[in-house]
Structure 1
């Protein structure tokens, strides 16, 4: 397998964590995602992945899978151990709820292409940073409330890391780097504290921007 990835991408981080938990080592193909000459906006990459996003997984038979949640669930179906979704149906739904709350309600509002568009509309770096922090704060506050009402066990949906944890950890790391302490969200802080003891998460966290 080949994974098109970028070290600062929280979406790519989710997939790298899943691969590490499964003990799978794909060929990593770095794709730059910042700046006007970023590789993900070039024709060669767009021909492969028309969305121009990372991550993208190329399977051994040449099938391309995009979107981090789809990739993770493909890996979980193909390599069942350790499972990345709980056995209980309600716990599985809750784990996906947390994952989608982060992917759709936070991450979708703060990636580089959104920042670039905001810049083209006249917002400076300070205003864009404020935009990002606003939506991260709003989104993680909602996730923290969800965890307060539904979480049981050490992690998002039980006593083993699951899909929700794979999405929560990279977002929490980036929130701290943006100046938002996890103490704002005690339930998230508790889960992330446990995840920081799991090497697959720590070693595959998104890298800071240079």
Structure 2
């Protein structure tokens, strides 16, 4: 990219003459073929979520989160009550359409409308979601919403640097690794170094078709196994 210079011959960033601030997430539902994202509602979602998480054989999916595990449904409901009232993070329940039951949660957070930056976080998936096409559609829905409807320039993904599955997911979804922020947080009484990933608006435009191709029914055989890997489709489009 050609370097722009100001009147003092200093290099400066490229102009954003048409930039307008992004929008705040709204409470509307985001619907796909495999799932829908509903604004988190305690009365509607708490019991189903607790039951879905209870299907896990152990509590390993809570290890890298700043909360949980929850011993009782009432304890989890009290936690969700506080989370559902927040606008940042803005929490969604992931709902399986055929049953109408919530089987996971995810949020948009660190919402910076002035600079067009937003983060996806608080990803807590039950066994019903893990390693399924449904979890990939969740990310596709959020990307489309963030970039096409809300007008953000940058979508971030951050996780504990020791959380290998989360880091692998970020890379599979097409996020770019930006580095490690050392000793960034104290979580559950432990040090947390944080791995930073991002996706930019112009990168999303290239990734969108890869997601659409991967999620198509034509990409799965009779046993429900993928024919083309998402990472391969993403790399083909770059």
What's the TM-score once normalised by structure 1's chain length? 0.29
Bigger CA radius of gyration: 2
Higher relative contact order (CA 8 A, sep 6+): 1
